[in-house]
Structure 1
Amino acid sequence: MTIAPGRKKAEKLDRLAELSAVRDDEQGVSLWREAWRRLRRNPSAIVGTVILVIFVLVAVVGPFLVPHDPVDPSGIREGVIRAGLIPGPSAEHWFGYDHQGRDEFSRLIVGARQTLLVGIVSTLIGLTIGVLIGGVAGASAGLGGRWGRLVDSTLMRIVDMLLSLPGLLLAVSIAALLGPSLVTVMIAVGVVSVPIFARLLRGSMIAQANRDYVLAASSLGVRKSKIAISHVIPNSLAPVIVQATLTLATAIIEVAALSFLGLGNTDSAQPEWGLMLADAQDQLSVRPALAIYPAVAIIITALGFTLLGEAMREALDPKLRR
């Protein structure tokens, strides 16, 4: 039986379409979608996310659900706080009292909000200024001419001077110069992270500037400033976002350190983990648990940010993908 030419041609086209079709599991995916797929399978990312979700919920919702007023010295008023005696956990006060007769559990919960707020704000300060400096330097170095290289060199020398100083020493110097306050801590910790973000974004932009799509856009006559803003910077932000997650962990520790040194919030009635840790130093011989509670909270929170940040770095970095 002879097959009609039209039907034969249709069968060939159907066969060609079948061969050229890409199955759903073979289709290409974007960088962020692939990173999300890897994060969902990474145990470290899952553990870090669970820790951070709990921390955020405690910081946001916890202050409305605390069983006692965190600034009310009820222990002194009731006469249960005496020299050399600070009552421990009980059915009514789960973590006991602090040295001024305030409920330790309520103060720990309320202190999470202030710790989270200071950590996020300080990281945003460093991220914003660092991205601005790194973006200008990277665009000048990768896409600029003689003047671009001059701008890049000037900005990077300033960044190198900041990097040459130990982070905590620089933060202490800034906080001491501006005077102890919560805003001072945010500025000091934020300035410390500026050179990290600036260097990272600049290096990523220089690497992107040598890609084929930049050469193609330049060949088509697209302005260099448009290439940098619309293409190079967006494609260079992945490592910066990962670093921001890791910096949050460092920021929480540095904020606690500055508060511990007396450079943070001077109002000891307002709960904050670093300040609670500092206040507990005089009570170590009476009740060391007052130092253990905020220290463990700081460690677990920093661990959550670190686990998630490392998992994101592994998911977004092709060299570290498994």
Structure 2
Amino acid sequence: MATQAVTNPVPVADLRRRPGRSASLRRIARKKPVGAIAAVICLLLILIAISADLLAPQGANQIDPLKNPRLLSPSLSHPFGTDNLFRDVFTRIVIGSRISLGVGFTAVFIGTVIGASLGIVSGYFRGKTDLVVSRAMEVVLGFPPLVLAIFILAIFNTSKGYSFRSFLLLSFAIGVIIAPTTARIVRGSALSIRNLQYVEAAESIGNTSFGIMRRHVLPNVVAPIIVIASIQIGNAILAEAALSFLGLGISDAYHPSWGTMLQEGRPVWLEAWWMSVIPGTAIAFAVLSFNLFGDALRDVLDPRLRQSS
């Protein structure tokens, strides 16, 4: 059978041309509109937390009965109303985003570093190392997450109020409870990479185990690490809000958090519904946005899901 030449061949330049980053982002946004909207909202939340001092119209603990009437419902002058101590709720929501998001991101960073390190070590060495790490993760998972975080804070938290030490301790307590999930996912990816030929070739020429894990295993498990970290941010924000609601957070009058504001609105719920509804809405909004962004990021980075879509 004779072959027919192509009448209009594609220029070589067109074959080599690849879409730019902006074009790729637009294509992903069209395929995942919900994830794109969630990503924009997450970015806005981060910018609000960074520039909270510039956006807040008042101080977080500014008590001015003449300017801020007590328990004023939402209005043009006070979009989120005022609380029972004559403070502007909008100001406290904006400033409170720094603790809620700051603890969330720091906790996810700590938990991701711990979980990814244990997962890579467990998946690469296998055998007794895998058994010890897996059993340790199962012990941590055996405790209810919130109870384990309360246990850690009850033992090590000796200071009250906002401080850098309390910030790190709260982030560490939340990071510990989210580390096992990251470790399990990374371990599964590391186990599949461990048996590939280029890893065996690196071992045969005398590379150390640490060098192989750093150069060959870690770069190939970055995608699942990024995905699970983006999803865990919402869980960390929710955990911080729960601990602050129980009085174990790090907020004070000048450094509020959304969970503490939610707890402060309980006594005056019937008289001032906005003191509880608005902080609760902020928590739900942030958690939902990061979860939707994480789901969309998983679909984009996972080649199996990308091919099926």
Give the shorter-chain TM-score range.
0.7 to 0.9
Matches of 2:60 and 2:171 in 1, distance apart? 23
Matches of 1:150 and 1:111 in 2, distance apart? 45
Post-superposition shift, 1:67? 1.6
Change (3 A) 1:260 1:210: same
Change (3 A) 1:312 1:72: same
**1:159 to 2:137 alignment:** yes
**1:226 to 2:217 alignment:** no
The structure with more radius of gyration: 1
Matches of 1:162 and 1:79 in 2, distance apart? 47
1:88: which partner in 2?
Answer: 73
Change (3 A) 1:219 1:177: closer
1:279: which partner in 2?
Answer: 264
**189, 193, 208: which one aligns with 1:208:** 193
TM-score under structure 1 length normalisation: 0.81
Post-superposition shift, 1:115? 1.2
Change (3 A) 1:127 1:167: same
Matches within 5 A, 1:145-294: 149-179=127-157, 181-218=166-203, 222-265=207-250, 267-294=252-279
Post-superposition shift, 1:65? 2.7
**1:98 to 2:83 alignment:** yes
Change (3 A) 1:91 1:224: closer
**1:56 to 2:46 alignment:** yes
Change (3 A) 1:223 1:21: farther
Matches of 2:252 and 2:98 in 1, distance apart? 16
**What amino acid maps onto 2:29 in structure 1?**
R
Contact 1:51 1:300 in 2 (8 A): no
Contact 1:39 1:312 in 2 (8 A): no
**What amino acid maps onto 1:173 in structure 2?**
F
Task: Classify the secondary structure of the residue corresponding to 1:189.
Answer: helix
Contact 2:69 2:82 in 1 (8 A): no
Task: Classify the secondary structure of the residue corresponding to 1:99.
Answer: coil
**22, 29, 36: which one aligns with 1:40:** 29
Change (3 A) 1:136 1:103: same
Post-superposition shift, 1:24? 3.1
Contact 2:116 2:183 in 1 (8 A): yes
Contact 2:61 2:253 in 1 (8 A): no
Task: Classify the secondary structure of the residue corresponding to 1:156.
Answer: helix
Identity %: 34
Change (3 A) 1:173 1:39: farther
Residues 124-168 of structure 1 show CA distances to partners (whole Å, capped at 9, x for unaligned) of 111112122222222212xxxxxxx22222122111111222222
State the superposition RMSD in angstroms. 2.9
TM-score under structure 2 length normalisation: 0.84
Task: Classify the secondary structure of the residue corresponding to 1:88.
Answer: coil
Task: Classify the secondary structure of the residue corresponding to 1:74.
Answer: coil
Contact 2:68 2:82 in 1 (8 A): no
Which structure 1 segments of 5+ residues have no match?
A: 1-14, 142-148
Contact 1:38 1:315 in 2 (8 A): no
Aligned residues, how many?
A: 291
Matches of 1:38 and 1:154 in 2, distance apart? 44
Contact 1:184 1:264 in 2 (8 A): no
Post-superposition shift, 1:204? 0.8
Post-superposition shift, 1:100? 0.8
1:67: which partner in 2?
Answer: 57
